[in-house]
Amino acid sequence: MTRGSLQNNSRYLVIVADDLGSSASVNQAVAEAHDRGILTSASLMTGGEAFEEAIEMARRRSRLSVGLHLTLCDGRAVLPPSQIPGLVDKDGWLEQSPALAGIRYWKGRRELLAQIEAEIKAQFNCIEKAGIRPSHIDGHHHLHLHPLIFEVACREASQRGVTWIRVPKEPLSAVIDLTPTERGAMPYAEWATFRMLGIYDTHLARKYGLRTAHYVYGNSCTGNLDQKHLLSLLENAGGTLNEIFFHPDTATESGKRELDALTSDEVRRTLASLGYILTDYRRLSDCVIGS
């Protein structure tokens, strides 16, 4: 990679594992995918039950780029319930459903915005206190795209020197080709929602000096991203810089399939034959690229 810019005739690929720190089995899968496979980056849940273990694992892997997996649903908050009573229950758990969380935050936006800002700051503080400067930011169940949340996340990331943020952008062809039939019309509704949010959020990210990959793949085949689907995706992906996000986990069947894909020799050979250059957001921080 040429320092300062990406070559237009090259294809760069960032491979990210979400949910690092959520459990010991996820941590193990991330470590294996990085050590034996193509995983270059991971996104860390600061409120995860295996957060401390994840920090130690990341410290032992200097080439693993670690970002913040902003969590405002389906997880535990960092701040105590007394400071964010509108976001969590008495035990500190956030609303499990991302849809219900999004509705709650929007309906109560005047009362809850300050609590959301406080929790986002606390999650950044937590990862930095652990000695990790996050290379990127994304969100659990993509809730960071929420109109009330995204600008707060961008502003906080910008102030802390983070330059990359995830905005899921898959071409419709990927949804058609990779979506399991049993998911019905839901992936198409998700694609349309992300498409609308993505246009606004990409412009907002630029306002704060943050950058996004050309395409971000993974949503259409969530839970079904095995070797077959990954090879198909690699064959058809477009853009100078793409991200593919995974959810490897040694404790679930879907997570094991994703781990197998990430450590596959055939996948590695395909990457080489197609001319992909594996990279991560830490190394890309000094590069110039159009979003």
Domain membership of residue 42 (yes or no) is yes
The CATH number of residue 145's host domain is: 3.20.20.370
Over 80: is that where the pLDDT of 90 sits?
A: yes
Distance linking the first and last C-alpha atoms of the chain: 18
Q: Does any domain span residue 220?
A: yes
Express each pLDDT in 12-36 by its tens digit.
999 999 999 999 999 999 999 999 9
In a domain? residue 5: no
Is residue 6 included in any domain, yes or no?
no
Residue 5 pLDDT > 80: no
Q: Would 108 be classed as within a structural domain? A: yes
Strand ranges (DSSP E) for the chain? 11-20, 41-44, 65-70, 137-139, 215-217, 241-246, 276-279
Amino acid identity at 200: Y
- 8 Å CB contact between 22 and 50: yes
> How would you classify the pairing of strands 65-70 and 137-139?
parallel
Contact 164, 139 (CB under 8 A): no
pLDDT of residue 236: 85
This prediction's pTM = 0.92
Q: Determine, yes or no, domain membership for 84.
A: yes
Please answer whether residues 64 and 40 qualify as being in contact, where contact means their C-beta atoms are separated by less than 8 angstroms. yes
- Residue 278 belongs to some domain of the structure: yes
- Look up the domain containing 43 and give its range: 11-284
In a domain, 1, yes or no: no
Is residue 232 within 8 A of residue 175, CB to CB? The reply is no
Write out pLDDT tens, residues 148-197: 999 999 999 999 999 999 998 888 777 777 666 666 667 677 777 888 88
**Mean pLDDT, rounded, of the chain:** 91
pLDDT in tens, 227-253: 999 999 899 888 889 999 999 999 999
* Rounded distance between C-alpha atoms, residue 258 and residue 247, angstroms: 7
Q: Which two tokens stand for residue 71?
A: 């969590």
Q: Count the domains in the chain.
A: 1
Residue 216, Cβ neighbours under 10 Å: how many?
24
Task: State what percent of residues in the chain have pLDDT above 90.
Answer: 76
User: 45 with 74: CB under 8 angstroms?
Assistant: no
